[in-house]
Structures are given as structure tokens and as C-alpha cells.
Amino acid sequence: MSDIDATHPVDLESKRFSIRKPEVRYDKQGERPDSDRLAAAMQAFVQDMGRAAATYLESCIHCGNCAEACHFYVQTGDPKYTPIWKLEPFKQAYKRTVGPFAWLYRALNLKHAVTVEQLQEWQHLLYDSCTVCGRCSMICPMGIDIASLVSQARHGMFAAGLVPHELWAVAERAEREGSPLGATPKVFADRVEWLADDFEVELPLDRPEAEVLVTFSSIEIMKYPASLVATARILQHAGYSWTLSTKGYEATNFGLLSGNAAWQRDMTMKLVDAAIACGAKVLVLPECGHAYTALRWMGANAYGKPLPFRVLHISEFLAENVQNGRLRLQKVPKSLAFHDPCQVSRRGGAVAAPRVVLAALGVELRETRDHGSLGWCCGGGGGVVTIHRADPLRYKAFEIKMSQLDATGAELTVTSCGNCRQTFDDGQAHFGWARTMGSLLELVAANLRD
């Protein structure tokens, strides 16, 4: 499969960035016997079955409530999209291998053994129809964090070589080239130089020492370069000594999304090493949801000890600097609706930060009916937006978001995740929707007050 990107190059023309729609799909990676795939999946499953996962897998009472929180079920009414059902093979593996009564389950075949055919069928459920948004985790009466289990189950799927073609391809590219969308270190350096010249901003690259290391997502680098310029203006305005690094600039982590823990670690360590190399006290993550999960909440675990610097999502960085007076903003006399990126708000605990910034901008914040920790996902997280065959389902999920945003009647809509943004751009084009999703960061940069 090493020729996969030559066969399926990155598509930077469409509204959402992925690889071009594959003519022939390779949803089964590599050539090996099914028994090997199964053994690899089972080994990875069992590795992930720690105390929390075991508690969750023992606790489900099959009440079905989680279905009612998931956009994919709510919009289709198809029971297979019930969140906990997406974990059925993981649960089967658990009950038959490490569960307290595993011998009984095996002896009486109370749970069937997992098969490769089943895993292939579940690929659609564990990837195409789960954005790992965690909304289901908010409804479960047993408090089961279903989304965390989906991420773990993906490890087994990756080990078995059963990842959706596009997601595998971009993850592999990210591991090999340093970016899922072709933003290699050289491309990154070139774009930084171009932006610095064209927009007359300082974008310091590879400074040996800096207080703040700023990172981006390749969605921004390739699709929303204005975000890079906006970030530079903000850091300059706030008077920080900062740098970008060609050694660690890509904050997206397709190792996490695809389910390859080793790649996830590699991607994380590039950022960690870059921050340590320049002695940064703070690493600022871009407008990207899963980057926050990957580094803020999982990064230190890849490092094996506490990180020697703080990790802030850009919305938190903005909020802190609004509060400490380093960022002075002019008022924006408009009504605005904010889309909470699931990984930052619900999963990351940073619901308040963007609202602090919006309050400083003086906008009239019109919240959607469901917002903050209970907001609906845009439908494109968890790598779903890369998968072409998931488009019809994703658009269905997107309809909830559109209608809730429309109901606010707000003049502006902004978010703080580039991946959500491209999902909105794509949804906007698909539905001919009147709204355009903007960026909180860019709104702030456009309203800096001297």
C-alpha cells in the first residue's frame, strides 16, 4: 500500500481536504491471512482493556439511551447507529477474554467470537458513523464514556488493517511526510515565508529560544492561511517572544483518529521535542479540536511524565490574554452564534474560554438550543470528514447543526476548529446554506485595538 498517495493524491481543490475520492477502495490494508488480522485486532483490543474500559464494558444496562444523543441515530433512526452497538465486537472480545466470567462466556458461547467479517462490517460503525464527539457519553445513565471506548476500539481496527481507505491514507501520509495534507516541513516553511511577505507580518521560524511555540493544523496551513496571519498578529499584539518550528508545527494527529497509537505518539513527540528544544513555556495549539485531545490530554502520557510546558488551545490562549490585559479588543456590534468544537468544549473542558473572548469582543452571543457541553457535533470530527463514502450520512448529521444555528438568527457564526470549519464549508456548498462558518481567531485578529 506504499503507493497509495501516488494512486490517490491529496485533493486540495474541494471544500473539504482529504485524498481524492478513490476509484477503487482499499478498506483492507495489506495482504495477510484473516487469521492474522483477527489475532492482531484481539491483541490490540485486550491491551486497551484497562480498568476504566472494563468498568464500562461491565456496566451497560442496554437501556438504549445513548442512541438518542447521537446525531447519526437521531437523523436516520437506524438502530445500528446506537453508540454502544458500535462497540459490540470490542465488548465481545472483552467478555470472552479478560472479563470476570470469560471462561463461562467462552464455554457457553454467551458472546460469539469476533470474526474478521464482523470487523469489516463494523468499520462503518467505528469510523464512518462516529465522530468521537462524546455526546453519547453525556446521556448514559451509567456514566459510560462511550467515546473513549470508540477510540480504543479503533486501535484494534488499525492493527487488523481495517481502516477506511482515505483515513488510512492521510494518516500514513502524516506519519511519513509530517502532514496529512501535504504540508511537509518545506511546504510549511515556504508558505510561512510567502505569508510573511504578502501580509507583512512577522512569522518567526525556528528561533532557538522562545517563550511560546505556536503550532497549526494542516487544514489551516493549506486551506485557511489567514489563520496563520491572524495568529501572528495576535502574538505580536500581545508582545510575546514566540516561534514556529519546522520540527514541530503540525498539530493534527491522524494517528489518534485512525487508531495507530505508535503514530499518535510519533506525532505528539514532534511537538513535545520542538517545544523543549526552544525552551517554550507555553505551546499554543491551533483551532483544531482533536489536536487538543491529542496533546493537552494525551500528550504527557506519550511523553511518560508531565510536560515541561503548558499546552493551551488557541481559544484558551486568547481568553487568558484578554483577561490579563495583553490583548485589547475593539467591540463588534453584531449578534453571533458559536459552534463548540466537541473535543475542546465537551471533551476538553474549555467551554468558557471562547465565551470570555466573545464577551470581550462585545458581541451579542446567541447560543444554539444545545451548546457548550451538550452542543451537537458538526458531523465531521473523528476523521469522518475525510471519508467520501460517509458524506451522505455526514450531511444528515450536519442538518441538525444548520437548523440550530439558523434558529439563533445570529449575523455571524464562528467556531475554533479548522476541521469543523471545513465540514461547515462543505455542508454549506452541499446544501447551498446561506451561512459561512468563521474563525474565532480571525475575528479577534481583525479587531485588535492599539
Partner 1 sequence: MDLLDFARGPALWTSIAVCILGLAWRLSAILRRPARPDWSEPRSTATSAGALRMIVRRTWHHETFRERTFLSSLNAYAYHVGLALVFFGFLPHIEFVRRLTGLAWPAVPGWLFVLAVAATFVGLGWALIARLTNPVLKLLSGFDDYFSWGVTILPLITGMAVISLALDQPYPARPLAPVPVAIHLLSLELLLVWLPFGKLSHAFLVFLSRGYTGAAFARKGAEP
Cβ closer to ligand SF4: 91 or 233?
91
Which of 53, 114, 119, 147 is the binder for ligand SF4 (CB under 6 A)? 147
Smallest gap, in angstroms, from Cβ of residue 342 to ligand SF4? 7
How far apart are the C-alpha atoms of 180 and 260, rounded to whole Å?
14
Which of 69, 171, 174, 397 is the binder for partner 1 (CB under 8 A)? 69
Q: Binding marks (x or -) toward partner 1, 284..313, rule CB under 8 A?
A: ------------xxxxxx-xxxxx--xx--
Residue 46 contact partner, candidates partner 1, ligand SF4, none, CB within 5 to 8 A by sort of partner: none
Cβ closer to partner 1: 283 or 361?
283
Q: Cell triple for residue 20?
A: 481524492
Our finding on whether 72 is near ligand SF4 (CB under 6 A) is yes
Residue entry with cell 470508540: 150
Our finding on whether 79 is near ligand SF4 (CB under 6 A) is no
Our finding on whether 400 is near ligand SF4 (CB under 6 A) is no
Smallest gap, in angstroms, from Cβ of residue 382 to ligand SF4? 7
Tell me the sheet residues that pair with 413.
337, 437
Residue 70 contact partner, candidates ligand SF4, partner 1, none, CB within 5 to 8 A by sort of partner: ligand SF4
Residue 131 contact partner, candidates partner 1, ligand SF4, none, CB within 5 to 8 A by sort of partner: ligand SF4
Our finding on whether 55 is near partner 1 (CB under 8 A) is yes
- Is the four-CA dihedral 5, 8, 14, 17 of positive or negative sign? negative
Q: Binding marks (x or -) toward ligand SF4, 23..62, rule CB under 6 A?
A: -------------------------------------xxx
Our finding on whether 84 is near ligand SF4 (CB under 6 A) is yes
3-state secondary structure the chain: CCCHHHHCCEECCCCCCEECCCCCCCCCCCCCCHHHHHHHHHHHHHHHCCHHHHHHHHHCCCCCHHHHHCHHHHHHCCHHHCHHHHHHHHHHHHHHHCCCCHHHHHHCCCCCCCCHHHHHHHHHHHHHCCCCCCCHHHCCCCCCCHHHHHHHHHHHHHHCCCCCHHHHHHHHHHHHHCCCCCCCHHHHHHHHHHHHHHHCCCCCECCCCCCEEECECHHHHHCCCHHHHHHHHHHHHHCCCEEECCCCCECCCHHHHHCCHHHHHHHHHHHHHHHHHCCCCEEEECCCHHHHHHHHHCHHHHHCCCCCCEEEEHHHHHHHHHHCCCCCECCCCCEEEEECCCCCCCCCCCCHHHHHHHHHHCCEECCCCCCHHHCCCCCCCCCHHHCHHHHHHHHHHHHHHHHHHHHHCCCEEEECCHHHHHHHHHHHHHHCCCCCEEEHHHHHHCCECC
How far from chain centre, in Å, is Cα 25? 23
* Part in contact with ligand SF4 (CB under 6 A); list of ranges 17-25, 125-133, 197-205, 243-251: 125-133
Smallest gap, in angstroms, from Cβ of residue 371 to partner 1? 9
Which of 29, 92, 123, 131 is the binder for ligand SF4 (CB under 6 A)? 131
* Part in contact with ligand SF4 (CB under 6 A); list of ranges 68-76, 154-162, 195-203, 310-318: 68-76
Residue 9 contact partner, candidates partner 1, ligand SF4, none, CB within 5 to 8 A by sort of partner: none
Smallest gap, in angstroms, from Cβ of residue 213 to ligand SF4? 30
Which of 13, 31, 33, 51 is the binder for partner 1 (CB under 8 A)? 51
Our finding on whether 33 is near partner 1 (CB under 8 A) is no
Cβ closer to ligand SF4: 72 or 216?
72
How far apart are the C-alpha atoms of 295 and 307, rounded to whole Å?
10
Smallest gap, in angstroms, from Cβ of residue 138 to ligand SF4? 9
Q: Cell triple for residue 163?
A: 481502516
Smallest gap, in angstroms, from Cβ of residue 6 to partner 1? 38
Our finding on whether 118 is near ligand SF4 (CB under 6 A) is no
How far apart are the C-alpha atoms of 167 and 387, rounded to whole Å?
6
List of residues contacting partner 1 (CB under 8 A): 49-56, 58-65, 67-69, 73-74, 77, 79-80, 82, 84-85, 98-101, 104, 110, 137-145, 296-301, 303-307, 310-311, 346-351, 369-370, 372-374
Site residues (vs ligand SF4, CB under 6 A): 60-66, 69-70, 72, 83-84, 86, 130-136, 140, 142, 144, 146-147, 150, 377
